[in-house]
Amino acid sequence: MGAKKNMRARVAELRELIRLHDRKYYVDHAPEIADGEYDALMAELAGLEREHPELVTSDSPTRRGGGAPTEGFRTVEHAVPMLSLDNTYSPEELLAFDARVKKRLPDELVEYVVEPKLDGISISLRYVDGRLDVAVTRGDGTRGDDVTANIRTVRSIPTRLPGRRGVSEVEVRGEVFMPRSGFERLNRRRESDGATPFVNPRNAAAGSLKLRDPGEVAGRPLEAFFYQIVGGASRVATHLEAIELMRAMGFPVSPDITPAPHMEAAVERCLEWDERRRGLDYDIDGMVVKVNSLEQQERLGSTAKSPRWGIAYKFPAEAVRTVVRDIVVQVGRTGRLTPVAILEPVFVSGSTVSRATLHNQDEIERLDVRVGDTVAIEKGGEVIPKVTEVVKSKRRGRPRRFRMPLRCPACGEPVVRSPGEVDTRCENVSCPEQVRGRIRHFASRGAMDVRGLGSALVRQLVAEELVGDYGDLYELRGPDLVALERMGEKSAENLLAELEESKRRPLARVLHGLGIRHVGARVAQVLAESFPGMRELASASEGDLAAIDEIGPVIAASIRSFLGSPRNAEALRKLERAGVNMRREPGRRRKTKTALAGLTVVLSGTFAHRTRQEAADAIVEAGGRVSSSVSSKTDLAVVGRNPGSKHSKALELGVKTIDEAELERLLGTRERH
């Protein structure tokens, strides 16, 4: 009995020691023992736990290596919603925020705190009786994913709060992130393993937290900083004191949180940090300015989406310089030639950039960009990087000007630039680059959705002359496919089954897949609602078409010209012969008034009753538009499970959000059952 008791005590002692040294190492960055000594403690504990499995606890330091993989993440409701901060981009906006605060707190002194805005994944941790109980992601702000098992593997996050036994509940919030150095190491490893590297540390952190296997998470270099005790801690009066309290409890907190006596000082600090952040080993995308007094915070309160006591200052879009190695020309599926600058790779706003579009000849002339030039490129938010200026002082010698080629780089046919148009085009419908582009578009998710027909395969099919247009896809036979390099019998079979299945896609999808200029998913839907089938559409005049609501003369002319071309007519005949659906389903006539008519809708997350594509189709059918990104023009955001940045953006912009059940209601679920 006595031996058992001793051993129990030793296990407890080892755990205590390991936690203490974890904290010294991972949080304070001031280790007190050598790695070897630490490893010996760990080995001893692991040995005892192996011999006495009844003593193993889920929060033992030995379990940092990760528990069993999960099927999915449980959804957990936040006790207090996780809001987001309003963004500002200039000193003036910060001063306006200060004025709003003062208006609500007349004649009071307001002190601010300035701290880095970490570019990671927000997380809320609840401790019960001093033990980590649950770790939840932000999710949609109301509900998030239970990622406790994964969070336990992050060594700087305490799983026990010493001295907090008996304190019933503590909830803290902060940001999990991946340091740049760790991110680079991880990507090097991934590259040598043949895995796709992560785009930036934020994506890598998000991806890591969503791994199903905590054992794998344990190998990811994740860190965290905490910045909020939920519900306020009665023992502290200010945000700075709350930070100190969290530090004392063993949470990692940013070392760069400082008070500012007034907004002018806070503004100065924000501006300084735009430079200083380059010295950090992690990404920050701005600064946060918060009212220091928790009591004042309380009185200021929050709106539905963000607190009135804090504001984010976002750094201006980062501009960096790099060198243009080459200017190449890409040919799109519509024959448009786009010049693209091939750049010396640079890291800008969180990812490595090695190409930037130069749009067209006019833009190249405006910038006067030439091969070998040093250029400034800019990337704001999620936008494709663009070249903003040429640094002429760095130009050496007299580099040659770029000229659009006179012949298509893909097929060698002469290209055309019509008077008054900025685009240069290849008008050869058989141009291999266009042929490939059209086939890829036809098979793409939003059109015929033929899985397994990727770029590499399309290239092979066109090169082997098995396919000259999308109509030929349906004439492919097993032996043709199996003869291709890297194509097994099983893949061939799957592809044929996918093609067979695609014949039943609704008319709108088929129309979209044809690749008629200006006919995207929305116009295709309008056409499918306006004509019972392809035949009727083909015999409509330009005038008939232009008379349709939402279809203007440019689209009408484009449709007529497409259908008037003998080659296109031939491809269409092939589709028809193969049995591809050419008729509108009964009852899918254009509806004029539904709850979604005319609304621009964004989908975020996954849905239980439909795939995202099905949800999008249903919305379009009900007269709505589906957009892939949230902007001020978005009317409605439908939020499913595990919603992403679109949902946060919607909350940020104050866009109305609804859940799946509400969407089903608006769609009138009858149609599906």
Q: Which residues are catalytic?
A: 117
Bridge partner list, 289: 114, 311
CB of 122 to ligand IVH, least distance (A): 3
Q: Given the complex with ligand IVH, which of 64 and 117 has the nearer CB atom?
A: 117
**Cα dihedral angle (34, 39, 40, 41), rounded to 10 degrees?**
100
Out of 22, 49, 115, 140, name the contact with ligand IVH by CB under 6 A. 115
Out of 73, 112, 183, 227, name the contact with ligand IVH by CB under 6 A. 227
Structure token digits, residue 437: 């582009």
Q: Given the complex with ligand IVH, which of 227 and 562 has the nearer CB atom?
A: 227
Q: Given the complex with ligand IVH, which of 172 and 312 has the nearer CB atom?
A: 312
CB of 217 to ligand IVH, least distance (A): 19
- Output the CA–CA distances (angstroms, integers) from residue 147 to 126, 208, 605, in the order listed: 12, 11, 17
Piece in contact with ligand IVH (CB under 6 A), picked from 31-39, 80-88, 512-520, 570-578:
80-88
First to last CA, the chain: 66
Binding to ligand IVH (CB under 6 A) within 134-153 occurs at 138
Piece in contact with ligand IVH (CB under 6 A), picked from 95-103, 113-121, 260-268, 490-498:
113-121
Q: Which of 458, 586, 570, 495 is nearest to 533 (CA)?
A: 586
Q: What count of other Cβ atoms lies within 10 Å of the Cβ of residue 566?
A: 7
Q: Given the complex with ligand IVH, which of 310 and 515 has the nearer CB atom?
A: 310
Q: What count of other Cβ atoms lies within 10 Å of the Cβ of residue 100?
A: 13
Binding to ligand IVH (CB under 6 A) within 174-203 occurs at 175
Instruction: Indicate the residue whose CB is closest to ligand IVH.
Output: 122
Piece in contact with ligand IVH (CB under 6 A), picked from 12-20, 306-314, 584-592, 635-643:
306-314
Q: Does 122 bind ligand IVH (CB under 6 A)?
A: yes
CB of 153 to ligand IVH, least distance (A): 20
Q: Which of 335, 671, 629, 334 is nearest to 506 (CA)?
A: 671
Contact (Cβ atoms closer than 8 angstroms) between residue 41 and residue 14: yes
Q: Which of 614, 605, 599, 597 is nearest to 672 (CA)?
A: 614
Out of 288, 331, 448, 481, name the contact with ligand IVH by CB under 6 A. 288
Residue 668: CB partners within 8 Å, gap ≥ 6? 594, 622
Q: Given the complex with ligand IVH, which of 282 and 442 has the nearer CB atom?
A: 282
Contact (Cβ atoms closer than 8 angstroms) between residue 546 and residue 538: no
Out of 64, 117, 155, 641, name the contact with ligand IVH by CB under 6 A. 117
Pairing state of beta strands 310-314 and 284-291? antiparallel
Q: Does 84 bind ligand IVH (CB under 6 A)?
A: yes
Binding to ligand IVH (CB under 6 A) within 383-422 occurs at none
Buried b (16+ CB within 10 A) or exposed e, 165-203: eeeeebbbbbbbbbbbebbbebbeeeeeeeeeebebbbb
Binding to ligand IVH (CB under 6 A) within 431-460 occurs at none
d(CA 335, CA 429): 8
Binding to ligand IVH (CB under 6 A) within 330-389 occurs at none
Piece in contact with ligand IVH (CB under 6 A), picked from 116-124, 322-330, 443-451, 590-598:
116-124
d(CA 26, CA 423): 56
CB of 285 to ligand IVH, least distance (A): 8
Piece in contact with ligand IVH (CB under 6 A), picked from 26-34, 110-118, 205-213, 235-243:
110-118
DSSP state of 315: P
CB of 198 to ligand IVH, least distance (A): 19
Number of residues that bind ligand IVH (CB under 6 A): 15
CB of 437 to ligand IVH, least distance (A): 39
Structure token digits, residue 548: 């349709």
Q: Given the complex with ligand IVH, which of 137 and 627 has the nearer CB atom?
A: 137
Q: Does 307 bind ligand IVH (CB under 6 A)?
A: yes
DSSP state of 14: H
Q: Given the complex with ligand IVH, which of 288 and 461 has the nearer CB atom?
A: 288
Sign of the dihedral through C-alpha 282, 287, 292, 298: negative
Out of 20, 83, 134, 416, name the contact with ligand IVH by CB under 6 A. 83
d(CA 445, CA 573): 23
Piece in contact with ligand IVH (CB under 6 A), picked from 77-85, 202-210, 316-324, 579-587:
77-85
User: What angle (nearest 5°) sits at the alpha carbon of residue 44, between those of residues 38 and 50?
Assistant: 135
Structure token digits, residue 405: 């080629």
Binding to ligand IVH (CB under 6 A) within 509-568 occurs at none
Q: Given the complex with ligand IVH, which of 228 and 642 has the nearer CB atom?
A: 228
**At which residue do the structure tokens 């494709």 appear?**
384
Q: Which of 210, 198, 128 is nearest to 170 (CA)?
A: 128
Residues of this chain that bind ligand IVH (CB under 6 A): 83-85, 115, 117-118, 122, 138, 175, 227-228, 288, 307, 310, 312
